[in-house]
Amino acid sequence: MSWLHPYDLARRASSVRIVTLLLFGVLVLAFFRIQVVAGGRYEVQSEENRLRPVVLPAPRGLVTDRNGVVLAENVPGYSVALLAPSAEVFRGTLERLAPLVPLDSQRIDELERRYVRAPTELVVILRDASFEVVSALEEQRPWNPGLVIQSDPKRRYPFGDMMAHVVGYVGEVTESELQEGVYPGARLGTVVGREGLEQRYDALLRGKDGQKFVEVDALGRTVREAQVVTTLEPEPGVTIRTSIDLELQRYIQESFPAGRRGAVVAMDPRTGEVIALYSAPSYDPNPFIGGYDPEQWRALAESEDFPLFNRATQARYAPASPWKLVLATMALGRGIVDMESHMTMPCTGGMRYYNRYFRCWRSDGHGSLTLFEAIQQSCDVYFYQLGLKLGLTNMLQDAGALGFREQSGIDLPNEYRPLFPPSTEYYNERYGRSGWTNAVTLNLAIGQGESAQTLVNMIRFYGMLASQDGDAPEPRLVPGDRGRMRSLGLSESHRQGLRDALLAVVDSGTAVGARIANLHIAGKTGTAQNPHGPDHGWFIAFAPVESATVVVGSIIEFAEHGSSVARLVTSVMAHWLLGPEAVPEGTPVPWLDILPDSAPEPVPILPDTALLNQRPDQAGTRAGPRTR
């Protein structure tokens, strides 16, 4: 064993001291960086590990009718959410809760994906939990410490199916909607509007959510609500007052023929305010709150009656005889006729155009009529000839100017665009240049053929007829901006002539059975041909003729004739203008007791000329001459 020289020993000791000092210095610098330089950042990270944000949903704004009656409100409810330290724990907790909370495997997978995207945020697993479910979950809390149960305002629709197609309903925003930015400001779990006014005015109704924090332990279990962080209170949404009159809406629902499909719309032509809008059949939106039963949703979606479908704004039908007023407007505006003009051929029950015979609804004919009388008696032969005088090109051009290829502009989402050929090129592309003839003009002239209009768009046009200056705003459910104004472009004498002719329709024409004592009503019946069954019935009217304050229109599927619908419409007008005690003139006629005169079967001009509708069970537009 060798001994170190004292000098070497001193040198080595000095080296050890230097290394020790250097290591100590490094540690001091590291501690300084952690405690001083980056202390704030680590403190925030520590707080984030300890605190979890909890969203406080804002109460949605109320929706009321014109008199302040609440159509959509908020009531106390409970929501159930979950915090977890890992995806495995999260899924395991969900599977344990499945017997108490209605969670299928698909829903569990969806919730797990949501957790993975934001593992530190609260994941709502059940909205609108019943008190029984909440009580059962509270008993399970010791084995599921990540559960967070809190009060959550629940949406309720007091009038259920009566107002469903107007108000709509609410539901959680979807991932795809968030990615596409459909609902600005929404985040996962946000409740947004679905259909109706809930969707159209969601940005106003939704309000602004608040936020609080809860403390969790190292395993992610909730300890208590944090006391050191300020809670941000939610801001309620804006209350919306609509133009709907609930009592008139109720009267329409009670008067609408049971088991029938169709719609009724009532509008003030001066302002465009929609007073009532009812579509049948309807549905109760309340079960959709807080999530829906897949079986219940499937039953509604697959029903052959399509109760989710708003027939006032989304169903498109051949406009039938109410379209004759559109054709008259076009011809008067171009100076082709006046109210006293006769056509070359009198009506003998039909007319031959080349090798086709086009029938009138009245088999023995109407004789020679003026335009006034042709509107009053709804003579098809007169309007066949008027359509030929106007010409197909002019008809297609004027239809666009009057808005029959555009949405009405009503403030409801998902309104369908009416269908009307934009030009003759439509026929060339559909049938080939030699595959069609000018006979299509005759069908368009009486509201058949390649034309499909929504009820609300026809109401908009009759609003122009009803107004004193021929102008009318877009239909609105929430009063405010009148939107785009449209005009008939007719002189006062021509407008008055059309109103007088429509008055004669009800006083002594095809709607005489629907007269109302002490009320001057102008209106037009119509029968829309339907290739899938009995024809559909139209009636659109306004009153009082001297200074109209309401336009009411209805389409009822398979009604077979417009006069069957007229009594419903005029009774609605009487209820609104004269009060609930108003009684129709004469002996009341039960609905559908007015039957159409016998008429021959239609003679098609082109095979499969129609079905412009997206849904095969809705009103088709088949070529043919019979309309009234």
As a whole number of angstroms, the distance between CA 34 and CA 38 comes to 5
pLDDT of residue 139: 81
Question: Among residues 556, 577, 598, which one ends one of the domains?
Answer: 577
Dihedral in degrees, nearest 10, Cα atoms 615, 617, 618, 622:
100
- Same domain assignment for residues 379 and 454: yes
Q: Which residue has the tokens 């059940």?
A: 126
Q: Is the dihedral of CA 193, 199, 201, 202 positive or negative?
A: positive
Q: Which residue has the tokens 């001083």?
A: 36
pLDDT of residue 220: 52
Pick from 276, 254, 255: which is nearest to 264 by CA?
276
pLDDT of residue 622: 28
Q: How far is CA 65 from CA 69, 414, 448, in A?
A: 5, 22, 37
Question: b/e for 338-356, b at 16 or more Cβ within 10 A?
Answer: ebebebeeebebbbebeee
Which three-class secondary structure state does DSSP give residue 70? strand
Pick from 226, 621, 229, 554: which is nearest to 418 by CA?
621
Residue 617 domain-assigned? Answer: no
- Same domain assignment for residues 229 and 268: no
- Same domain assignment for residues 220 and 337: no
Residue 423 domain-assigned? Answer: yes
pLDDT of residue 33: 65
User: Can you give the CATH number for the domain in which 85 is found?
Assistant: 3.90.1310.10
As a whole number of angstroms, the distance between CA 409 and CA 474 comes to 6
Bin 31: left if φ > 0, else alpha if -120 < ψ < 50, else beta: alpha
Q: Which residue has the tokens 């809705």?
A: 618
Judge contact between 413 and 195, C-beta under 8 A.
yes
Which amino acid makes up residue 346? Answer: P
Which three-class secondary structure state does DSSP give residue 581? coil
- Same domain assignment for residues 411 and 453: yes
As a whole number of angstroms, the distance between CA 352 and CA 359 comes to 9
- Same domain assignment for residues 359 and 453: yes
pLDDT of residue 291: 66
- Same domain assignment for residues 219 and 270: no
Judge contact between 482 and 473, C-beta under 8 A.
yes
Residue 58 domain-assigned? Answer: yes
Which three-class secondary structure state does DSSP give residue 450? coil
Local mean pLDDT, 10-residue blocks, the chain (628 residues): 62 74 73 57 46 78 97 89 84 84 82 82 80 83 78 90 96 86 86 94 91 62 52 88 98 93 96 97 88 75 89 95 97 97 96 93 95 96 97 96 95 96 94 90 95 97 94 93 85 96 93 88 91 88 95 92 86 93 49 34 28 28 37
pLDDT of residue 307: 93
Residue 332 domain-assigned? Answer: yes
Residue 382 is given by DSSP the state H
Structure tokens, 399 = 């239809």
As a whole number of angstroms, the distance between CA 12 and CA 35 comes to 34
In degrees and rounded to multiples of 5, residue 595 shows phi and psi of -105, 150
Residue 428 domain-assigned? Answer: yes
pLDDT of residue 292: 65
- Same domain assignment for residues 140 and 92: yes
Question: Among residues 550, 577, 604, which one ends one of the domains?
Answer: 577
Number of structural domains in the chain: 2
- Same domain assignment for residues 383 and 318: yes
User: Can you give the CATH number for the domain in which 451 is found?
Assistant: 3.40.710.10
- Same domain assignment for residues 234 and 319: no
- Same domain assignment for residues 139 and 233: yes
Question: Among residues 241, 272, 296, which one ends one of the domains?
Answer: 241
pLDDT of residue 522: 96
Residue 510 domain-assigned? Answer: yes
**Domain of 100, in residue numbers:** 51-241
As a whole number of angstroms, the distance between CA 271 and CA 467 comes to 10
**pTM higher than 0.75, yes or no?**
yes
pLDDT of residue 445: 96
- Same domain assignment for residues 321 and 200: no
Q: Which residues contact 505 (CB under 8 A, 6 or more apart)?
A: 375, 376, 378, 511, 522, 523, 524, 525
Residue 35 is given by DSSP the state I
Residue 37 domain-assigned? Answer: no
- Same domain assignment for residues 274 and 221: no
Structure tokens, 549 = 């304050």
Residue 400 domain-assigned? Answer: yes
| 265 strand-pairing partners | 277, 553
Q: Where are the alpha helices (DSSP H) in 303-352?
A: 324-333
Q: Which residues contact 599 (CB under 8 A, 6 or more apart)?
A: 359, 361, 362, 363, 626, 628
